Structure 1
Amino acid sequence: MLISKKLKEKVIIIAESDQQLLAEIKLNLNKQGFLNIKTALDGKQIYEILRSYYGIAEKIGLLIVNEQLPQCDVLAMCQQLSSHDASLIPFIILSADENKHNIENSEFNSQALIHQMSYPINYSVLMDTIGFQLIMMQERYLRHKQEERLINELAERKIVDAKLKYLVVHDELTGLINRHNFESQLRLVLMRSRIRQQEGALIFINLDRFSLVNELEGFDVGDRLLIEIVAIIRKIIFKDDLFARIGSDEFCLFLDNKTAKEVKQFAERVRASVDEFKFSSGGVCYSTSLSIGIASVNTVTADYHPNEIISKARQACRMAKEHGRNMVWSYNETDTKVQERNKDLYWVPLIKKALLEKKFFLVFQPVVYLDNGKISHYEVLIRMRGLQNEVISPSDFIPVAERMGLIHSIDQWVVESAIDFLAKLPETSKISLAINLSSVAFQDDSLLPTLKEKLSLTWVDASRLTFEITETAAVENFEQTRKMIAEIRSLGCQFALDDFGAGFCSFNYLKTFPVDFVKIDGQFIRNLINDETDQVLVKSMAEIASNLGKKTIAEFVETPEVIAKLKELGIDMAQGYILGRPEQALLTSSFIALNGLTRTSAQPKRFTNWFSEKVS
């Protein structure tokens, strides 16, 4: 029988009290390539050899043992060593014919590898038997390992399945329930509170400046901080309280059957406990704090949807942050910021719809020279069509667009539409436009490329464009704004500083700010006739602007008396309802008769707003 080299390397134990016969058996095994042989003269020595292979029983090949070996119960040894696949050791039992027991047919041998041979030994048969026993042992051992591996894989799969089921409803880092699970349970809790007529509240918890720890120390340290914060809060809450992690550093806690006063006291306790906690990492100690928002649920309030109550608690948490952090703030419908937020939710889809469906349009208001009544240029203003085709003022939607990141799209639409308007006028037209942009327009890197491309495609003379920027916006980011203005002016465009005088540093910035026009804020114009202080300030503005080579424009001019006073104070141009309201079509006259404030009968070709035809 062909036996592999690997099997021949296994240990063969020969247990024979007759040393001459022992040597004979060993010699015959050596001749067949079995060199790793251990010998024993009694049962005690067999166990000593076996003990040296404890934990590595697979290195033992088989055991050849004399049935009459001193200090050895062969039958008991076979039962111990040959009845389990994990530690299977084949036996060849040598016995005299008259002493031979029927061990091979014993009950335990159904699972064992036992073979009996009679003296004298037929070595050819012995070698075949050894080969057969070793091959069978190897197959049994491999089968056992495969079964063991399959059992382990099944057990691991069950563990993984259990872990996945756990993670579906729990946060892996903190062990808290996750947002989806929290919303499901909260829905039931709210329903139960309504049926039982019980009060309660949702507490929204946000860790202040958590991103700073992540940036300075890394995410591992940030995770450790979250775990410790959760541990602090868990010591305060009751076991059955609904506590969840719903975001990176955001947590929700619902307190059932608690009054508003009790909830506020509890939230203050949570805030104070975390405030006292000092978190250390790498020798640096960080002060930690929470901003907490509360949204109450009372018996007279209509049913809440989980998302609604969470949203209200989050808004209250945001209010806590805006008022200085490390605070507890209760949701209140009358809060200005809450109303602003609700306004944003209403206006954002309308603004997006207007951008997609071209519901915006331009109107034009003339700016008039006070010395001759000639129209210098028109200021471009934006309007929006509502759901019922009503005209909506920019004061309603522009602040929302600025807060919600939609303003850059509106600015670009205004620039492109104004240039398209100029491009569609007759070639002989000298009409110029002043484009009123938002306070953040000059922080938009795409504005300059858009302007360059549009001017190149339409061949509109850049000098016919004036961009207006408010003094407040210019001062907030002075260097970046000045750089952007310089780049746009290099194309040939002009600039006007709007609302001049509204800030405290007006004259200081004016001397270095690259603008061509100064628009005096309306607060100095409305009561100009009756307020000598306003007259002094306006005259000073006119003189300073003139000395710096800049022209002045007065806004909100409403009466002939104001026009006369502005001319007297040295103001160059004026703008207001008395001179012309914002309209979709330009005025039919190129100048205004300021004395009688009536347009001349001269009727040059009417310049029609390209957009008015589409909306009227």
Structure 2
Amino acid sequence: MSQFVDPMKTRVAMPTTMQALRETMSRDMLLETVSLLLDNINDGVVLINPTGHVIYQNANAEKLLGHGPVITSPDHWAEIFGVYHLDGRTLYQPDEFPLAKALKGIETPAYEMLIRPDSGQPGRLIRGRAKPLTEANGQLVGAMACFHDATEHDELLRRVRYRSEHDRITGVQNGVSIRGTIDAMSLEVHETGTGGFGVLLVNLDRFGIVNNVVGRDAADGVLRRIGRLLQHREHVLATGRLCADEFVLVLAAENLDATQREADSIVQALRRLDLTAARFTTHLTASVGATWVGPGVMHSTEEVLAALTTAVEDAKRGGRNRSVPATLPHAPQSPDETCRISDVLGILNEDRLCLFAEPILQPSGEYLGYEVLTRVCNGDEKPRLPRQFLPTAERFGLIGQLDVRNLARLMQWMGTQRLDGLDMKRMHINLSGYTLANEACLQDWLAVLLTNLDDARYITVEITETFAMKNPVEASAALHQIRQLGCQVALDDFGSGYCSFSRLKQLPLDYLKVDGSLVRNFLEDNQDRAILQSIIQLGRALKLPLIAEHAHNKILVKALFDLGIDYVQGHGVSQGQLLTACAPVTP
């Protein structure tokens, strides 16, 4: 290697570019080189002659390299200009340098390097290309490198990618990203036939109460603390947030037992979390579903999450603040246990959906009306609804079609009742958040109402608390349109989600439907009873009648009326029946 030459002592004035090029190139080669220079006028450009001396370096190149042209051996270019591999530690070797390769006749169509000049400027990511300059007879007359600063572009892409993959509030992966992680890990386990990993679905019990007590901003701070706690667990490989109060964890676990132990430990850790700084003094609890993905049958992420959702529901029915294991089957599940997108499409295409009516009881013993529910009919079998039918339909954008179809069938039935001279009762029908948020779907749904305006005044549209509170502006605008057509509006699942009482006042509502999770056990659970009493006081203050759902026996029905609930529905009132079998006049 030749002796190192200090570049600060070897800076030279460059010859006139055209003069230098004329001395080394033929006319045709000169024209081609000038054309290349013009094509890359916004990039840094360096031209060297066959001996490695710089004959042209533009201002962009000097800015990026931190030096003007120098006279030295190509062996020292990496040291002089601070050229490193992407690890930021390894200098380019002389034979790796793109321009050095070009002098040997080797073109580098794309390269990346880090430039860390000794001028004190920050290091930059450089992308470019280098090519030899040869005459028609093959004679090498020099080399040319064109390059640009990709630092800001890459940083912008990194930020956009990060935001697209991470939850805005907690910084953990978002729902799409964590699903992708589980997909990739499941595929690897399936293809290798070895290993495995645990998955937890952590649902924060009644987190809406935290939001109501401390406010939205403080509740977001609590979520950030929960996210950090979950991320930093020793066995946690990945953490994602599915929705307001639900997290997914991927664990390093050798079997379901190990996954279950970690789930129990997380339940206890959340309960110990000190929230006094957020002005919340009640213990935070969680219902957790735990499963283990191992070699064998390939399960989609949606199937894994469906099994975990069922386990979480079982944990809540068992009293919350616990984990429940979910064993993934080694054979395809029955339609009652799961529902894939192919199952949903088959049901829709074969027109096997029917409407099921569950009556809503008044204290007088008469019916206020019916809630119309989606069911799947299979010949003489009892109508049912696979647990994951509606979530799957919503995930794949089919729920809007389902909403429109259900409303059209209800309006057709109501029209028949009216023509037969029968007295009409109020009919409650669910409208998904997907349809409310999708302008095209909402207009299709409203079009059905517009063609049946005579009966629209008997319709109560139920929307979920989760959508209304997460999208208050969109929800309010859509609900105003619906009410202008004569319908009433009920807020469904009230008390279960991420509710803010201040936002509640902004919505045009006629009823509040108390979530069944607060109803089922309120006779035994003092917390549920206290929350119910608070909701009753709130309803009276807002002059909104309350409907309690999932009252599963007559004792519960009576107790709810005694507590002050206005209307009750559930199996304690009636098991329900097909809409076509309903007699809307008497209970």
- Give TM class, smaller chain: 0.3 to 0.5
Computing the radius of gyration over CA atoms, which structure comes out larger, 1 or 2? Answer: 1
| Structure with greater contact order relative to length (CA < 8 Å, sep ≥ 6) | 2
How high is the TM-score relative to the length of structure 2?
Answer: 0.45
How high is the TM-score relative to the length of structure 1?
Answer: 0.43
Greater helix proportion? 1
